Amino acid sequence: MPSPVVLSDQERRLYSRLRDILKEPGLLRGNLVEIKRQCGKKNCRCQQGPDSKHRALCLGVSLNGKHRTVYIPAAWEEPVRQWVQRHGEVREILEQLSLLCLDRLRNREP
């Protein structure tokens, strides 16, 4: 029977952080992109120069090999920012855990 895996303090902290993140709702893969553009109305403030253009927030994401942009309404901006940030944290933690497991494999440690 193989010996049980003994986790290091660092691994325990990473798994604990991962559990804490996953308790919160919302994970979203993608990048937030701020777009500034003119609307085309002659009397609109956006026609006055580059600093007065309309701001829109979009999520850039690759789906089925194609790049897509999804508009984010202003009311959804904060939750979407949190979801994208959480996804990044999860990816970072998984990468660290993977590297620790790779070291364990190389050293033939259980």
Q: Predicted confidence band at 3 (pLDDT cuts at 50, 70, 90)?
A: low
Neighbours of 83 (CB within 10 A): 19
User: What's the sign of the alpha-carbon dihedral 81, 87, 88, 93?
Assistant: positive
Q: Which long-range contacts (CB under 8 A, 24 or more apart) does 64-72 make?
A: 69/33, 70/30, 72/32
Contact 94, 83 (CB under 8 A): no
pLDDT higher than threshold 90 for residue 75: yes
| pLDDT tens figures, 39-73 | 878 888 888 877 788 888 999 999 999 999 999 99
Q: Give the start-to-end residue ranges of the domains of the chain.
A: 9-106
Q: Which residues pair with 69 in a beta bridge?
A: 60
* Cβ–Cβ under 8 Å, residues 53 and 38: yes
